[in-house]
Amino acid sequence: MKKIVLLFLFIITLPVIAQQDIKTLKYCVDPDWMPFEGVVNGKHTGIASDYLELFSQSLPYKFILVSTNSWKESTDFLKSGKCDLTLMLNSSAEREKYLTFSLPYFFGPNVLVTKGGMPFIQDLTAIGDMTLGVVSGYRLLEEIPMYYPEIKIKVLSSEEAGLLSVNQGDIDAFVGSLYSINLSINTLNLQSVKINGWISLQDKLRIGFTKPNAHLTPIFNKTIEKISSKQHNDILMRWSDVRVVKQTDYTVLYYFISGMSLLFIVFLWRYLVSIKISNALKHKNKELEQIREELLFVNKELEYLSFHDNLTNLYNRHYFMSTLNDHLNQLARQEIDSCILMVDLDFFKKINDEFGHAVGDKILQQFSALLLNALRAGDIAARWGGEEFVVLLPETDNNSSLTLAKRLIEAVEHHSFDLNINLTISIGVSQFKDNDTIESWIERADTALYQAKNEGRNCIKESL
């Protein structure tokens, strides 16, 4: 009998023992960063909540949400130790002072948003004199001034404030995550703004642990490595076109309905069935809409690839000729000046032969960045072939073109390329004439370039 009692006591205490083995972890989130994460009616939601469910299934931890009103407050809580971790953020030098980061488990592009009428922005190097909006506390506010110190930045309180500032014309452009910006534009119904460029700084989102919890990093890393591609894709598909809907608490109504007569319950049941069917149809329509949006996104990527050179990210020859044809039609209707620059990297074959093609490719990429930085918004730069480049300067006369060409030559001479390679360039300039065709205009620029190369290189020649 005594053994039976002891066995009974052991069985009823098992749940208590198991519960003691489960460690509680408090986490903070950005309450207003959908679809990545948010708090709706006191509950954590978004992409991060789905990944948290995966972590909960694999690890012996109980996760408790610490409610905050803003990302700044969440950051303050992490610094003070009121939270043990946060689920989804980029690492940065500033954040590494108080957080230890896991492996990245979600990747996403960052994009530029402008008014609808502005030309496509190839990268941050093409911002020029425009004012760029960045959200306070976000990693981009640290990295953009580090890599692009010449850009004029306006700090904003939130992504919504940034998009509204672009819409109202207070700033020229705003930068942020593709997924959250796409959702915000649709939610705010902003008709006059558009996603109008990509930047090379990609989101690599991780878990951030406070320093006292740094020992958890390798444990969570093992779980992150086990997440399958299908699980990643399922989560992205589920949240790629989300809409935030505030839910109403119907608890009182449910109690009222429970006391109604059997006849009312029958009618209610029929109503719920019809709602279920309707929701199923809506769900299918939503899936079709998501597929349509994904196809549009893929088509835009393919369009970008078809118009750009894969190595330098400049426009390719096909796009340049198409643009030049449209521009020539415009010149036929208007009396405006335009010029073409043909640019060649001097003795580039020698660089390839001496240092290898990998170094040569880096030189081409670095020169392309210098070229974009020297141009104005509206100028079109393309890789013509090999080490030769072509630039269209709309509404520009011969003197202004020569000034720009001199500035480019000086920039190349003073730039520190890989392996301290000294590089010079030769440039041919041709201004549009009334009887010019595309072929004759380009040919005159090419002839001027050939003359510059024959007369010692590292110089500029004008076409006659």
Q: What is the Cβ-side half-sphere exposure of residue 81, based on CA atoms within 13 angstroms?
A: 4
* Average pLDDT for 222-245: 77
Closest CA to 210 of 67, 106, 103, 96: 96
Q: How confident is the model at residue 244 (pLDDT cuts 50, 70, 90)?
A: very low
Report which residue type is found at 172. D
Q: What is the pLDDT of residues 275-334, one digit of tens each?
A: 888 788 787 778 777 777 766 665 566 567 678 998 999 999 999 998 999 898 888 788
Contacts 24+ apart (CB under 8 A), 160-166: 160/184, 160/188, 161/135, 162/113, 162/133, 162/134, 162/135, 163/113, 163/188, 163/190, 163/193, 164/188, 164/190, 165/133, 166/113, 166/114, 166/115, 166/133, 166/193
User: At 32, phi and psi to the nearest 5?
Assistant: -145, 65
pLDDT attached to residue 48: 93
Structural tokens at position 324: 């030049």
Provide the b/e sequence for 365-382 (b: ≥16 CB within 10 Å).
Answer: ebbbebbbbbbeeebbbb
Bridge partners (DSSP) listed for residue 85: 27, 209
Are residues 83 and 77 in contact, defined by beta-carbon separation less than 8 angstroms? yes
Give the strand pairing for 37-40 and 43-45: antiparallel
Is residue 156 a contact partner of residue 132, using CB atoms and an 8 Å limit?
no
Higher per-residue pLDDT: 38 or 237: 38
Q: How close are the terminal C-alpha atoms of the chain, in Å?
A: 114
